């Protein structure tokens, strides 16, 4: 029973992705993947040529999203590094959808 609760616990995490991640549809595909997993939050380009964002949702889906951000990304992207920070369990979602911030 504990394992079931742990996988469905709501989690939030900040991420920053380094590599060739701008101009390769990375934000669009991040939103598509987040929508597929039922996650909420946001993603945007930075002036540092990285992509950063915030995702919230069930722990098991956040784990899947983190794997996607670290290993897949968009088809033409090249991920060098993925940083995840401030991961914590939350009581409720702060967003209603996953948005691309321009």
What backbone torsions phi and psi does residue 46 show, to the nearest 5 degrees? -115, 165
Taking the chain, what is the end-to-end CA distance rounded to the nearest angstrom? 42
Of these residues, 5, 27, 28, 102, which one is catalytic?
27
45 is catalytic: yes
From CA 17, how far away is CA 69, in angstroms rounded? 7
Of these residues, 5, 28, 32, 45, which one is catalytic?
45
Which amino acids are annotated catalytic?
Answer: 27, 45
């Amino acid at each position: 029973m504990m394992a079931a609760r742990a996988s469905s616990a709501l989690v939030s995490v900040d991420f920053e992705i380094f590599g060739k991640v701008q101009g390769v549809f990375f934000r669009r595909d991040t939103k598509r993947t987040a929508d597929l997993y039922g996650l909420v939050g946001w993603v945007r380009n930075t002036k540092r040529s990285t992509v950063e964002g915030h995702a919230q949702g069930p722990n098991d889906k956040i784990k899947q999203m983190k794997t996607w951000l670290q290993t897949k990304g968009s088809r033409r992207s090249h991920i060098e590094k993925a940083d995840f920070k401030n991961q914590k369990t939350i009581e409720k979602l702060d967003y209603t959808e996953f948005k691309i911030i321009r």
